[in-house]
Amino acid sequence: MNNSAIIFAGPSLTRRDRETFPQMQFMPPVGRGDVLRLLKNNRPPRFIGIVDGFFGSRPGVLHKEILEALSAGCHVYGAASMGALRASELSTYGMIGIGEVFEAYHDGRLESDAEVAVNHGPAELGYPALNVAQVDVDATLDALRNRGMLTAFEVQRLSEKSRKIYYPKRTWSKVAAEGSTDQSAAEKLQTLLAQAHVQRKRLDAIAMLNRISKDKTRELPAISQSFAPPLTPSYKRMRRAVFEP
Q: Note whether residue 156 is domain-resident.
A: yes
Q: Percent of the chain at pLDDT above 70?
A: 97
One domain, residues 21 and 113: yes
Give the single-character DSSP code of 170: -
Q: Note whether residue 48 is domain-resident.
A: yes
One domain, residues 102 and 154: no
User: In this structure, what CATH number is given to the domain that contains residue 20?
Assistant: 3.40.50
* Dihedrals phi, psi of 163, to nearest 5 degrees: -65, -25
Q: For 63-77, how does the pLDDT look when each residue is reduced to its tens digit (9 = 90+)?
A: 999 999 999 999 999
Q: Note whether residue 99 is domain-resident.
A: yes
Burial per residue of 74-108, b for 16 or more beta-carbon CB atoms within 10 angstroms, e otherwise = bbbbbbbbbbbbbbbbbeebbbbbbbbbbbbbeee
Number of structural domains the chain divides into: 2
Contact 208, 99 (CB under 8 A): yes
Per-residue confidence (pLDDT) for residue 245, from 0 to 100: 65
One domain, residues 26 and 93: yes
Per-residue confidence (pLDDT) for residue 116, from 0 to 100: 97
One domain, residues 99 and 212: yes
Per-residue confidence (pLDDT) for residue 225, from 0 to 100: 65
C-alpha distances (whole Å) from 118 to each of 40, 154, 175, 179 are: 31, 24, 15, 21
Name which of 20, 21, 27, 24 is nearest 51 in CA terms.
27
> Pairing mode, if any, of strands 75-79 and 45-50?
parallel
- For residue 170, the enclosing domain spans 133-196
One domain, residues 73 and 12: yes
One domain, residues 104 and 213: yes
Intervals of the chain under pLDDT 50: none
What is the pTM for the complete model shown? 0.93
